[in-house]
């Protein structure tokens, strides 16, 4: 094949195989076949048609690693496509690997591919860490609720502060509950203590893993951002500069109100459903802390909730929306300052 001929690749990714569709510049199908899920098989197939003009694969588990290897090691011009948008574009109730690979290749050919950002290895690993921690915390919360419910059913009460050492000692010695119930309480307590240790371990790992990350340090300098919030924001948002403006970042975090306007009726209906739930959760928690502080955010909260009578949850969401938009400009400015300082140090050296 001539190296001057354009070829467009559509990859329908699966754990054991990849459906590969190759189109020429006119949209003619040159091949649409299934190959083993290996970099070598894709490279060998591509060599039969010359340089890859553009390739596309739907964003899914495993796709970022594939894209990174093909892009940086083998020089492919490959992008990840938004799976939801691709499905809507197809506008067909039928689904097969053949048609999925075909539409991806065609979207790449006509330059209408709904591209999504491909996170680097560092961000993918950080996401795995913070999501593992979140799962452990969720499990611990579930165990705590079961233990407390068991105590309530048995009408057992203690004067000690809940979850303190004295309270845990009381659990093992109290006779307010029968022997069988106390055995179950201690089982829950043992699981909680085990999960506490696991959470401490993953937090220590996160601290070590992000020790040299300048953006983590910049985030933790901001008001009401601690290490947990900084880790999650770094993992899920990754790079603030990849967004065009604060509104786009707010949409990504799922903090913008959903527009349900029609005709002369202008209205909103809750927050949009987008972004990682863990990210929206920590931002809402930060907004709750800010709402009870002394800054502009507390002024906004008091005006919406106390003066205008908005529900507390609506006022908190508005504070979170305003705060993340402002944070977009603050973080980008500080990152630019850090980059300039680093450049001066390099030049001086």
Structure confidence by residue, pLDDT tens digits, 189-212: 999 999 999 999 999 999 999 999
Mean pLDDT, residues 90-109 taken together: 87
Predicted confidence band of residue 124 (pLDDT cuts 50, 70, 90): very high
> 3-state secondary structure string, the chain?
CCCCCCEEEEEEECCCEEEEEEEECCCCEEEEEEEECCHHHHHHHHHCCCCCCEEEEECCCCHHHHHHHHHHCCCCCEEEECHHHHHHHHCCCCCCHHHHHHHHHHHHHCCCCCEECCCCHHHHHHHHHHHHHHHHHHHHHHHHHHHHHHHHHCCCCCCCCCCCHHHHHHHHHCCCCCHHHHHHHHHHHHHHHHHHHHHHHHHHHHHHHCCCCHHHHHHHCCCCCCHHHHHHHHHHHCCHHHCCCHHHHHHHCCCCEEECCECCECCEEEECCCCCHHHHHHHHHHHHHHHCCCCHHHHHHHHHHHHCCCCHHHHHHHHHHHHHHHHHHHHHHHHHHHHHHHHHHHHHC
Structure confidence by residue, pLDDT tens digits, 29-63: 999 999 999 999 999 998 888 888 899 999 988 89
- Is the pLDDT confidence value at 90 over 90? no
pLDDT at 152: 92
């Amino acid at each position: 094949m001539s190296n001057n001929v354009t070829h467009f690749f559509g990859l329908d990714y699966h754990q054991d195989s990849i459906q590969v569709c190759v189109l020429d510049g006119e949209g003619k199908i040159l091949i649409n076949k299934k190959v083993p899920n290996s970099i070598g098989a894709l490279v060998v197939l591509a060599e039969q048609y010359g340089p890859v003009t553009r390739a596309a694969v739907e964003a899914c588990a495993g796709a970022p690693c594939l894209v990174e290897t093909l892009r940086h090691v083998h020089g492919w011009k490959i992008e990840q496509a938004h799976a939801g948008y691709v499905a809507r574009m197809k506008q067909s109730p039928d689904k097969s690997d053949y048609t999925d690979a075909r539409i991806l290749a065609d979207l790449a050919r006509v330059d209408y591919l709904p591209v999504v950002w491909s996170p680097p290895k560092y961000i993918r690993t950080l996401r795995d860490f913070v999501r593992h921690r979140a799962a452990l915390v969720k499990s611990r919360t579930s165990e705590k609720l079961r233990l407390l419910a068991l105590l309530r059913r048995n009408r057992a009460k203690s004067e000690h502060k809940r979850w303190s050492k004295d309270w845990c000692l009381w659990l093992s010695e109290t006779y307010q509950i029968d022997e069988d119930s106390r055995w179950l309480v201690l089982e829950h307590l043992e699981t909680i203590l085990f999960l506490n240790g696991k959470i401490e371990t993953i937090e220590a790992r996160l601290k070590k893993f992000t020790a040299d990350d300048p953006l983590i340090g910049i985030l933790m300098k901001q008001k009401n951002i601690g290490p947990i919030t900084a880790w999650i924001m770094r993992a899920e948002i990754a790079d603030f500069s990849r967004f065009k403006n604060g509104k786009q970042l707010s949409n990504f975090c799922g903090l913008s109100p959903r527009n349900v306007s029609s005709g002369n009726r202008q209205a909103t209906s809750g927050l949009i459903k987008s972004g990682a739930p863990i990210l929206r959760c920590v931002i809402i928690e930060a907004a709750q802390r800010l709402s009870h502080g002394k800054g502009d955010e507390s002024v906004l909260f008091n005006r919406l909730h106390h003066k205008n009578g908005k529900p507390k949850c609506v006022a908190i969401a508005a504070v979170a929306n305003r705060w993340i938009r402002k944070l977009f400009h603050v973080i980008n400015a500080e990152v630019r300052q850090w980059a300039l300082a680093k450049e001066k140090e390099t030049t001086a050296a």
